[in-house]
Amino acid sequence: MKTHGPKTPDTIRGLRERRSLRGLLDARRRAEADLSTGEMVAPFGKGFFEVKIPGGDATFIVADQTGGRSFAPGATVLLASRSGAPGQAVLGGAPAGKKGGRSTSRTTRRRGTAATDAAANQYAFGFDASGMVASLYSDGTYLSTRGSIAAPGVAFFTGCIVTDESLVVGDGSALLKDGDTLYVWDVDGAATHSYSVPAGWIYATQLYYQNGFLYWCEMEDVTAQTTFDIRLRKADTDLANVSTLSTYTSPDASADYGGPPWLSWQVQAWPMAFAVDDDGAILYVESTIWDEADASEWHGLQVRFALSGANAFREFDTPELGVDGINLLLPVEPFPCATLATTFAIAEPIAATQSVLSKDDDSGTAAQNLWGASDLDGNTVSAFGSGSGLATLQVHDAVNGKIIRGIASGSIITSAIDAFDLTPNYPSAMFYSGV
């Protein structure tokens, strides 16, 4: 029997011929076939799809045996079961002869995973029992699972490459940090890349994507010295070809601050906020100097690294990043930052005082409130970013299941975020992919 053409069982002529004995046998053969085709309706949690018979209305749930592949609604998929019995599973896309006439050629790196689901505007990442999971969401609504991979150590998500201009990794790649080891999870490429801070250096900042590259800073590991160095590093988006762009040396605790020769900077100089735009990077650092009697003195430094050229710095006091009298040594991890055109945004939720700050790309002005001082009261910042157009800021609060989005102020987009599987597990970090 023909498997394609004008008299196949899926055509009008084919349906007419089912009245014959041969047609009845053909219909039974098709009903009891191990392999058949279905029409994709939508994902159904992690590990399942909702499908229907092509041209029909009734839907049914089948298992996913594709390893987390996404399918557009209406796409033809290959179904498998034993003799047509219940318990079908999706094996892959349409078989030969069912794919249509569209070319399937592709570039070296596909652009925009969100294209697999037109409604998607969120790259979401989380964890399940086996490792890390990447998903697509429309605000708080789960759409599909992009992929999963074993989790590296106890790393947590710090950022997302929404669109990689360099095409080295796929769009929607995750940035992670585990102590002084930095990671990139290329979801499209099903690979994880890593970089560990070498001996002599400590306290790497979070990775920051800009201009097709990744940037970060590292602190010199010093003891009993009156100065310390900070270096700005750069790498490809797969963390290859690491280089040092610039090095900044702190003020001298003895010469600049009038301490005795044995006065030294605390070994740890903690990074607080780090961001990069087209031509420069800013880094906020806090550190403490002390003497043999444990008398201490807090200092805040803001360094402006030029991506090419000279560096500059200024001192700041605690109200700029924090509140007077509050020791900012905990948490050690930097405040998340985002780039907005020619300015930087810093998410620092301190109740009734600060929420999202704006900082000019210079070494002379202080950070100012961009959002209202209470816009993030009662919320955590699980993820922070500015979307593909660098125009709209988004805070994801995984603790309260909330998305807050805006430019000059934040407004709640949703306070109900779907789980990405049936356990249920929820996103640990969500990043806006809209403009």
- CATH classification of the domain holding 204: 2.120.10.30
Report the C-alpha gap between 355 and 411 in whole angstroms. 12
Quote the tokens at residue 121: 């505007």
Quote the tokens at residue 146: 């992009």
In this structure, the answer to whether residues 87 and 168 fall within a common structural domain is: no
- 95 neighbors 69 (Cβ within 8 angstroms): no
C-alpha angle 107/110/113, rounded to 5°?
165
In this structure, the answer to whether residues 246 and 169 fall within a common structural domain is: yes
Quote the tokens at residue 321: 């990043």
Report the C-alpha gap between 269 and 138 in whole angstroms. 40
The segments of the chain whose pLDDT lies below 50 read 1-31, 96-115, 265, 267
The length of the chain is: 435
Task: Please tell me the predicted confidence (pLDDT) of residue 329.
Answer: 52
In this structure, the answer to whether residues 254 and 330 fall within a common structural domain is: yes
Q: List phi, psi (to 5°) of 327.
A: -80, 115
Report the C-alpha gap between 266 and 279 in whole angstroms. 31
Domain boundary among 62, 93, 124: 93
Residue 4 placed within a domain: no
Task: Please tell me the predicted confidence (pLDDT) of residue 294.
Answer: 63
Q: Which residues pair with 135 in a beta bridge?
A: 124, 145
In this structure, the answer to whether residues 57 and 174 fall within a common structural domain is: no
Residue 106 placed within a domain: no
Residue 237 placed within a domain: yes
Structural domain count, the chain: 2
- 145 neighbors 152 (Cβ within 8 angstroms): no
| Start-end of H helices in 80-167 | none
Domain that holds residue 41: 12-93
Task: Please tell me the predicted confidence (pLDDT) of residue 216.
Answer: 97
In this structure, the answer to whether residues 27 and 150 fall within a common structural domain is: no
Report the C-alpha gap between 74 and 60 in whole angstroms. 14
Cis peptide before 424 (omega within 30 of 0): yes
Residue pointed to by tokens 């009156």: 226
Element (H, E) at 36: strand 35-43
Residue 416 placed within a domain: yes
User: Residue 78's domain is classified under what CATH number?
Assistant: 2.40.50.140
Task: Please tell me the predicted confidence (pLDDT) of residue 11.
Answer: 42
Three-class SS state of 26 = helix
Task: Please tell me the predicted confidence (pLDDT) of residue 274.
Answer: 95
Task: Please tell me the predicted confidence (pLDDT) of residue 41.
Answer: 77
In this structure, the answer to whether residues 153 and 41 fall within a common structural domain is: no
Domain boundary among 65, 93, 121: 93
| CA distances from residue 318 to 16, 102, 344, 350, 375 in whole angstroms, order as listed | 82, 60, 19, 12, 20
Q: List phi, psi (to 5°) of 226.
A: -95, -5
In this structure, the answer to whether residues 75 and 155 fall within a common structural domain is: no
Task: Please tell me the predicted confidence (pLDDT) of residue 325.
Answer: 62
Residue 7 placed within a domain: no
Beta strands of 267-380 (E only): which ranges? 270-276, 280-290, 296-306, 312-316, 337-340, 343-350, 354-360, 368-369
In this structure, the answer to whether residues 76 and 133 fall within a common structural domain is: no
pTM: 0.72
In this structure, the answer to whether residues 135 and 68 fall within a common structural domain is: no
In this structure, the answer to whether residues 403 and 316 fall within a common structural domain is: yes
Task: Please tell me the predicted confidence (pLDDT) of residue 15.
Answer: 35
| CA distances from residue 211 to 269, 280, 353, 390 in whole angstroms, order as listed | 28, 11, 33, 12
Task: For residue 231, count CB atoms less than 10 angstroms from its CB and return exposed for 0-12, middle for 13-18, buried for 19 or more.
Answer: middle
Residue 5 placed within a domain: no
In this structure, the answer to whether residues 198 and 333 fall within a common structural domain is: yes
In this structure, the answer to whether residues 149 and 61 fall within a common structural domain is: no
Query: Which residues make Cβ contacts (< 8 Å) with residue 136, sequence separation at least 6?
Result: 70, 113, 114, 116, 117, 120, 122, 123, 124, 143, 144, 145, 146
Among candidates 113, 121, 122, 130, which has minimal Cα distance to 69? 113
Residue 155 placed within a domain: yes
Quote the tokens at residue 163: 């669109």
Assign 3-state DSSP to the chain and report helix, strand, coil percentages, each to 5. 5, 40, 55
Residue 6 placed within a domain: no
- 181 neighbors 196 (Cβ within 8 angstroms): yes
Among candidates 145, 47, 29, 28, which has minimal Cα distance to 90? 47
Q: List phi, psi (to 5°) of 14.
A: -65, -40
